[in-house]
Structure 1
Amino acid sequence: MSHLNQAREFPQNMRMGLWAMGVLGFALAIEHDKIVGYAENTVANTILGLHDDRDRLHTVAGNVQTVENRNEENVRRL
C-alpha cells in the first residue's frame, strides 16, 4: 500500500461515535465529525492533485526528451 493511500485513511481513523463524549458532548462530537470530514476531503483532493501533477511531469519529461532529440538532429545537420 502506498504512503498516499495510508494517508487517505488517517482522517477516517479519527472518527468517533456521536455519543462518545456523552450527552453533553454531543454537540462537540458533531463538530468533530465535520472537522474530520473536512480533513478527509482535503487529503483526498491533495492526493488527486499530486497524481495529476505526477502525470503532467511525465508528459513534460517526454516533451523535453523529444526536443532534445530534435536539437541533436539539428546540430548534426550543421
Structure 2
Amino acid sequence: MTRKHYNVTGMSCGHCVASITEEIREVDGVSEVVVDLAANTVTVHGTGLDDERLRAAIVEAGYEIGDPVPA
C-alpha cells in the first residue's frame, strides 16, 4: 500500500471534500482518500498510485496543489 500527501489550496467546506474525493476515487489504484480541511491536505492511499493522475484529479476538482508535503 502506498500513501501520497498533497497540500491543496482553496478548500473550505464539505463540498470541497466531496468534490476532491469524487475525482480522486476515479484514479486507478485508489483505496482511500482523506481530506483535512484544517491542514489543507489530501492524503491518498492505494496501490500503484500515479502521482500525475492524482494531481490532475485535484486540479479537475477545481483546486490548486501547493508545495509538497514531507513524507
With the length of structure 1 as denominator, give the TM-score of the two structures: 0.27
- The structure carrying a bigger helix percent of its residues is 1
- The structure carrying a bigger strand percent of its residues is 2
With the length of structure 2 as denominator, give the TM-score of the two structures: 0.29
